[in-house]
Amino acid sequence: MWYIGKRLLQSVFTLFIIITIVFSLLRLMPEEGYLGAAAEKMTPEQQEIILTNLGLRDPLLVQLGNFYMDLFKGDLGTSVTYRTDVPVTTIISEKIMYSLFFGLGAVALSLIIGVPLGILMAHMKGRWLDRLGTGYIVFVVAVPAAVYYIFIQMYVTDIFNLPLLFDEYNKMSWILPLTSMALAPTASYAMWMRRYMVDELNKDYIKLARAKGVKERTLMFRHVMRNAFIPMAQYLPATILFTITGSIYIESLYSIPGMGGLLVDAIQRQDNSVVQGLVLIFSSLGIIGLFLGDLAMALVDPRIKLGKGGSTR
């Protein structure tokens, strides 16, 4: 418990620093970002009034204090240019559902296919399935995603007669974005799983287990698989959390109204409060993901002592 408490404290502290830095940096941005589309038509006096009302003429520390007060109330401010006067939280929560759905779907799909694929590949190392899987992995890693996405759009849609664009009410249209998104992570899960399995299989304790008369299959399931999955457990929470950010490419390719393009749009339109809200959310996700990863490791790996502090790996 000590270990977890310590890691939690570290995470909160890191989060605090990051938020403060993001906040301060955005104060260095051009102030038009708070004025909206009408900025050019305003006199400098009018601009001053708006900025003062927003609290931007207060000392930086006071601004920071207010910002944190609002943050704890769950208020990220309102959008300036993107969708004027709509709360940032509303904008994000509308979009997040789409990204979350496809993101989690893709993670689930790639775990369900990638992990067993990696296990089978390790089990049949050097045989045809392993070769086939390796071919797939090399393909996905070597060929830019844009290329095979386009191939999917050009041919797969025709062959299976699947809709090209996303439509909330047509479930068939969910298939292609999901599979496209799962292609790369499936390959990497398969690759890591295979690698960790082969590592484990070469270890002495496997030889001893074999010598004591454990069946090869039992050996795979009870000893090797679990041990090989542990290094992956560390990265899984972060991977899952990051699906929230959405995939810019997939979302624009299939016209999914998700988070993917939001940050880019907000930056292009100089909407400071939306940018600030997004950066804050993304960085928190990263930190929470790392923390949960360490937590997961601590739970599954007895070598990490929960009682005392110390390095995790």
Interface residues for another protein in 228-257 (CB under 8 A)? 230
Q: Say whether residue 204 binds another protein (CB under 8 A).
A: yes
Plot region of 178 (φ>0 → left; ψ -120 to 50 → alpha; else → beta): alpha
Q: Say whether residue 45 binds another protein (CB under 8 A).
A: no
**Piece of the chain touching another protein by CB under 8 A; list 12-20, 131-139, 224-232, 249-257:** 224-232
Q: Say whether residue 208 binds another protein (CB under 8 A).
A: yes
For residue 91, give the nearest of 75, 79, 74 by alpha carbon: 79
- Long-range CB pairs of 198-204 (<8 Å, 24+ gap) are 198/122, 198/125, 199/228, 200/224, 200/227, 200/228, 201/122
**Beta-bridge mates of residue 78:** 87
CB atoms near residue 310 (< 10 Å): 10
Q: Say whether residue 205 binds another protein (CB under 8 A).
A: yes
Find the length of the chain.
313
Q: Say whether residue 311 binds another protein (CB under 8 A).
A: no
Q: Say whether residue 207 binds another protein (CB under 8 A).
A: yes
Q: Shortest gap between Cβ of 227 and another protein (angstroms)?
A: 5
52-78: string of b/e by CB count within 10 Å (b at 16+)?
Answer: eebeeeeeeeebbeebeeeeeeeebbb
Q: Shortest gap between Cβ of 62 and another protein (angstroms)?
A: 52
**Piece of the chain touching another protein by CB under 8 A; list 30-38, 41-49, 155-163, 298-306:** 298-306
Q: How far apart are the first and last CA of the chain?
A: 17
**Piece of the chain touching another protein by CB under 8 A; list 147-155, 214-222, 243-251, 273-281:** 214-222
Q: Say whether residue 216 binds another protein (CB under 8 A).
A: yes
Among 41, 212, 308, 313, binds another protein (CB under 8 A): 212
* Residues of the shown chain interacting with another protein in the complex, contacts defined by CB under 8 A: 203-205, 207-216, 223, 226-227, 230, 300-303
